Structure 1
Amino acid sequence: MQVTGLVWVITIAVILGLFVFDFFAHVRTPHEPSFKESGSWSAVYIGIALLFGGFVAWQWGGTYAGEYYAGFVTEKALSVDNLFVFLIIMSTFAVPRKYQQKVLLIGIVLALVMRGGFIAVGAAAISAFSWVFYLFGAFLIYTAVKLLKDSGHEVEVEEKRDSLIVRLTKKVVPTTDEYHGDKLLARIDGKRVVTPMLMALLAIGFADLLFALDSIPAIYGLTEQPYLVFTANAFALMGLRQLYFLIGGLLDRLVYLSYGLAAILAFIGVKLVLHALHENTLGFVNGGEHVSVPEISTPLSLSVIIGILVVATVASLLRTRGSARPHTAEPEPVEPK
């Protein structure tokens, strides 16, 4: 797959343009989006992501389009799991509902920029050392086992409040626990301080960066093309803000989602190990010769991933049927006048 520098520049410009449009059209004026607004724009961004897959098919063929779609579906599924932590962070910092869009959007952009570095490093490692697939595969299988052992999504609020990035920020710059509208910085007694808005934004961005430790190896198990890895990540993150408000009230009903994600990560981990064996160059494995093992095709990968997500979602909704709790508005913190 040959991707010219011009295509990279145009793609990045379009993605940044969509984020800028999202900010000025929906986020600049603080408000809590309605269900209709969240649903319609979620559909728009998913539609854009699907259309981009058609562009990939037109330019580079159906095989690469299939890899892109498999990567996009996987990243989207993993991003849903991230929303649990985002909800906890919003609650920890008591971010008013009308300001949460700004925190999410800027945090997501920050995360995408940092993920770009991860993607570049991963591409360089794969290009230079084919045995990296062994490491990626083993890490994903380990992550799947760990995810199964973790008990739900309960995370101590104090642990989030005292996360590394928050502690470092408080040590370096003066902070305040009071909100000043949607400002990231405020001036108190002539002294510039960091508001909880900026603290929550940093927590969201770096939490998503930690999630990339799982998602980047996972998508490299579906495609070795950095361009597809980057665009699948970008389009999966692009609609995350709308998805947060759209299904926030349903997250506590997705009780089997972690099991489904563990199964997906384990499946991709096995796929990576099989690919590593097929491309083997390690001297202590089969004398450095390739190992004749079956490889999992992209159509099969996409079918398995979608199948697991459907089963996990349907099983969760059936298990929690009738137990959904009505959404109650969060108390608005008092803002200084």
Structure 2
Amino acid sequence: MESAFPLFADWLSAAWLGTPAWMWLGFLALVAALLAFDLGVLHRESREIGTRESLGLSALYIALGLGFGGWVWWALGAESGMNYLTGFVVEKTLAMDNVFVIAMIFSFFAVPRIHQHRVLFWGILGVIVLRAVMIGFGAALVTQFSWVLYLFAAFLVATGVKMLLFAEKERPLSENPLVRLMRRRLNVTEAHHGERFFVRLPHPATGRPTWFVTPLFMALVMVEVADVIFAVDSVPAIFAITTDPFIVYTSNIFAILGLRALYFALAAMIHRFAHLKVALSVVLIFIGAKVFAAELMGIGKIPPTVSLSVTFAILASGILYSLWKTRPGSGAPQPGGPGG
């Protein structure tokens, strides 16, 4: 036992993707504890989440995310702390944009509010795994081929310009190829069956007991796919801020952890953020452009404090402008919350 302890201590202190293994284990343990507390204590039984509870949980998750950023600042230095906070702010705002899509998915599949938390909870578990794979792949690419960072930056600039100049026409989910494929290839129930993703029912043609997927499962699949699509923007964005995998992954996950709680407050007033996409597009252009400005134009690396200040100023301006343009009495449409 005495000889094993030093080996274990050496393993904990060994660098894994540039950061000591004990930091990775500590972060993953914290995330697991938060998810266990959420599912096992706060939401052990299915129930609707009100706006007040949603805002309270969101404030808790934001405080935890910022607190973790303070610890990163203390443990890894001011530059790492600033990069974490910048990534956290950018990812949090991009996640807010994701609420529009999730609300549309829940409305299309008529997911009752009492079961929406279940979809979001299992969705976040998928996000943790999918983001780990995508970030690990991105880190390997950037390490082996430094020029990939310029591809990420060019993609961000192009995406930002497209969002700024060309309004995308939303395609009805009924025409979505994945929805049509699932309905064609899988046995799908017409009605919901509580919070179950799968049910065993008599087949309408043979009468034999057969496994069916429910609309709740289809909603979960679409939420996961939506996150993959949004990750195509967010992962390059954070790599353009920092290439440290620990900062990239932790800022992403802490920003997304609170999305589940924040959804129930934002979903009722998503129309108030109608102009947020403009601010997001400018942020993506700024983050991508500063990579080229730093390396190709000889300006040098832009200080993290400048990146964080500019990013925060752009996003805050976009949020405040949206709230002002959609204020009661402004003539802007005031729709209700999402269906379901």
Cα distance between partner residues in 1 of 2:318 and 2:45: 37
Q: How does 1:179-218 map to 2 (within 5 A)?
A: 179-189=192-202, 190-218=209-237
CA distance in structure 2 between the aligned counterparts of 1:47 and 1:150, rounded to whole angstroms: 36
Q: CA RMSD in A?
A: 1.9
Q: 1:265 maps to what in 2?
A: 284
| Counterparts in 2 of 1:230 and 1:90: CA distance versus 1, 3 Å | same
Change (3 A) 1:216 1:10: same
Distance in 2 (CA, whole Å) between partners of 1:134 and 1:329 is 39
Q: 1:296 aligns to what? A: 302
Normalised by the size of structure 1, how large is the TM-score?
A: 0.88
Q: 1:302 to 1:223 in 2, by over 3 A?
A: same
The question of whether the paired residues in 2 share the 8 Å contact of 1:41 and 1:242 is answered with yes
The 10-residue stretch of structure 1 (244-253 or 121-130) with the greater mean CA deviation from structure 2: 244-253
Task: Spell out, residue by residue over 1:153-203, the C-alpha distance to the aligned partner (whole angstroms, 9 max, x if none).
Answer: x6233xx24434434434443221210001000111121110011110010
Q: Distance in 2 between matches of 1:74 and 1:125?
A: 22
How far is 1:324 from its partner? 6.5
1:248 aligns with 2:271: no
Report the Cα distance in structure 1 between the residues aligned to 2:275 and 2:159, rounded to whole angstroms: 16
The answer to whether the 8 Å contact 2:267/2:337 transfers is: no
The Cα shift of 1:22 comes to: 1.3
Distance 2:311 2:337 in 1: 34
SS in 2 for 1:174: coil
Letter in 2 for 1:156: R
Of residues 256-265 and 30-39 in structure 1, the stretch that sits farther from structure 2 once superposed is 30-39
Equivalenced residues, count: 315
- Within the candidate set 308, 314, 317, 2:314 is matched to 308
Q: Which amino acid aligns with 1:239?
A: G
> For residues 219-276 of structure 1, what are the alpha-carbon distances to aligned partners after superposition, in whole Å with 9 as ceiling and x for unaligned?
1111111001100111011010111111222211212200000000000010122344
Whether contact under 8 Å (1:250, 1:324) holds in the other structure is no
Instruction: Kindly provide the CA deviation profile for residues 35-71 of structure 1, in whole angstroms up to 9, marking residues without a partner as x.
Output: 2111111111101001101111121111110110000
Deviation of residue 326 (structure 1)?
Answer: 6.6
Deviation, 1:16, is 2.2
What secondary structure does 2:115 align onto? Answer: helix
Match of 1:94 among 87, 110, 115: 110
- Structure 2 gaps of 5+ residues are 1-14, 203-208
Structure 1 gap ranges (5+): 278-290, 332-337
SS in 1 for 2:101: helix
> Sequence identity, in percent?
38
